Structure 1
Amino acid sequence: MGNQLVLVLATAAGAALASLLGGIIATLLNPTTLLLSIFVGYAGGILMGTFAFEMMPKALEQSSLFIATAGFALGFALVYALDLYVNRGAMAGAEASQKKWVKGYHKHRTPRGGKITVLAGATSVEEVIEGLTIGVGSVIDPMVALITGLAIAIDNIAEALSIGELQREQDKEHYTWPIIKWTGLIGISVFGSALAGWFLFRDLPENVLGFLLATGAGGMFYLTVTDLVPEAEEHHYQESAAISVAAGFLTIFVLSEMV
């Protein structure tokens, strides 16, 4: 029990500090589009590999195909519902035929906050799911917690750089404190929820732990395919995004086979 708690504390602290580190980097540097493409793409690939090689296989070991599938679907649905909530139930891609209608709709029913508030606030809530995943993963298998924590840490740096870019666009002079504030909030969210996940769920039956791990995977999957990968591709040069996604995916594949 003592070793598990130390693992959760260390992993959660690393993920939390990564968010703040990303925020500090974003205040000191103005990342180029190529750097954003590479780093955000790598984070997306890392998360994809974590779902595929660690989280879902362990969830299946702990429960059953039906339970793991249901958990993944629930996690995906929860974060999708959050996205709909902050966007007042209307979303469309930049090239979608429905984009014009959505823009008109948002003139009358504006999203719950500006671009930065929506991104940072939604990310903070998503960090709760990711933090719980660290806590649950540490109970199932320490390596799941470590690899998941690594993936979340890299993701947090990428999210912090994205928040920094948006904040700089909004206010080219007074951006330091808002960036630190938002990235600090994200760090607190993941750290607190990781501890909550360990203290609240460590004595649950294996099939419930498997369900919760799959739920975390589903929520993180939604974030990856709707946020990280599209943003990386938006900034790519010579398909730097695709190369970085593949590199991140292979990183977790190699780690999962080595440990």
Structure 2
Amino acid sequence: MKEIGIITMCGIIVGMVGTGIGGLISVFIKESHRVLSFLLGLTGGFMLFIVTFHLLPESFILGGLYFSILGIALGIGLIILVENNINRLFKSPNMKSSFILAISIAVHNFPEGLALGSSFLTMSDLAPMLSVAMLLHNIPEGLALAIPLKINKVTPNKLMLYTMLIGIPTGIGAFIGAWVGMFSNMLISICLAFAGGTMLYIICDEIIPNAKSYHKGRGSSIGFVLGFIVGMILYF
């Protein structure tokens, strides 16, 4: 039980510190329409890389085509349901984008926690390296959430708090992964595709249009391509 507690704490630290660093970086970013447009594009490009080369391929490998499609459909369905009910809560499109994005990142972090927790039990030599890799790639995810919040003038303290909270599911996943040792591939597949579906919808419906609305130039498009390249560098 003590070992499981340590593994769970490691998952929480990996999740919250990684996304929290992303939030901290956003605090020091210069605010201008051109810069914010570029950063939103950068966020979209990075998210697209995660979806196309990480979430959906892993979902397909673990659960096959039909469970992947099911997860994508459930993710998009949830986003549409949430959108229909939060328009009256958030007048700003950027606050709405952040709320929806937080859901998708949190769902994405849960299966990562499962993998981390299982690695401590079955592949202990891999666990420290996997922890560092997860922490590093959580940084741009925290930045992705923080940029729309920053645009909407959320205070730095709240911005840091929100970005750190989305890392908690990593700890929950680590606890479950360590507790059961092995988890259902089908469920992990659906979770990964669910996160992929929500992110894909957000990219198309929120991130790209909002980036273009801040600056009509090429900044957001260049940022989008660079974000995709950043994903390649971090994952390969």
TM range (shorter): 0.7 to 0.9
Q: Tell me if structure 2 keeps the 8 A contact 1:39–1:244.
A: yes
Secondary structure in 2 matching 1:238: coil
Seen in structure 2, the aligned counterparts of structure 1 residues 117 and 11 have a Cα distance that, compared at 3 Å, is: closer
Q: Tell me if structure 1 keeps the 8 A contact 2:71–2:193.
A: yes
Deviation at residue 57 of structure 1 after TM alignment: 0.8
Seen in structure 2, the aligned counterparts of structure 1 residues 248 and 146 have a Cα distance that, compared at 3 Å, is: farther
Secondary structure in 1 matching 2:173: helix
Secondary structure in 1 matching 2:83: helix
TM-score (norm 1): 0.70
Deviation at residue 20 of structure 1 after TM alignment: 4.0
Match in the other structure for 2:155: 179
| Whole-angstrom CA distance in 1 between matches of 2:152 and 2:40 | 14
Aligned residue pairs total 220
| Whole-angstrom CA distance in 2 between matches of 1:129 and 1:86 | 19
| Whole-angstrom CA distance in 2 between matches of 1:41 and 1:146 | 26
Deviation at residue 34 of structure 1 after TM alignment: 1.2
Paired AA for residue 225 in structure 2: A
Secondary structure in 1 matching 2:207: helix
Q: Tell me if structure 1 keeps the 8 A contact 2:23–2:159.
A: yes
| Whole-angstrom CA distance in 2 between matches of 1:192 and 1:157 | 16
Match in the other structure for 1:90: none
Q: Tell me if structure 2 keeps the 8 A contact 1:15–1:187.
A: yes
Taking the TM superposition and a 5 Å limit, the aligned residue runs for 1:154-169 are 154-167=140-153
* The one of 214, 217, 229 aligned to 2:193: 214
Match in the other structure for 1:52: 52
Match in the other structure for 1:33: 33
TM-score (norm 2): 0.75
* The one of 89, 102, 118 aligned to 1:112: 89
Secondary structure in 1 matching 2:215: coil
CA RMSD of aligned residues (A): 3.2
Once the two structures are superposed, residues 140-167 of structure 1 have per-residue CA deviations (whole angstroms, 9 ceiling, x without a partner) of 8989987776565324324423323322
Seen in structure 2, the aligned counterparts of structure 1 residues 135 and 145 have a Cα distance that, compared at 3 Å, is: same
Taking the TM superposition and a 5 Å limit, the aligned residue runs for 1:1-259 are 6=10, 9-22=13-26, 24-25=27-28, 29=30, 31-87=31-87, 111-115=88-92, 118=96, 120-136=98-114, 138=116, 153-167=139-153, 178-200=154-176, 203=180, 204-253=183-232, 255-256=234-235, 258=236
Larger radius of gyration: 1
Q: Tell me if structure 1 keeps the 8 A contact 2:67–2:186.
A: yes
Deviation at residue 81 of structure 1 after TM alignment: 1.4
Q: Tell me if structure 1 keeps the 8 A contact 2:44–2:207.
A: yes
Structure 1, gaps ≥5 residues long = 88-110, 168-177
| Whole-angstrom CA distance in 1 between matches of 2:118 and 2:231 | 18
Deviation at residue 48 of structure 1 after TM alignment: 0.2
Secondary structure in 2 matching 1:112: coil
Q: Tell me if structure 1 keeps the 8 A contact 2:118–2:174.
A: no
| Whole-angstrom CA distance in 2 between matches of 1:113 and 1:37 | 21
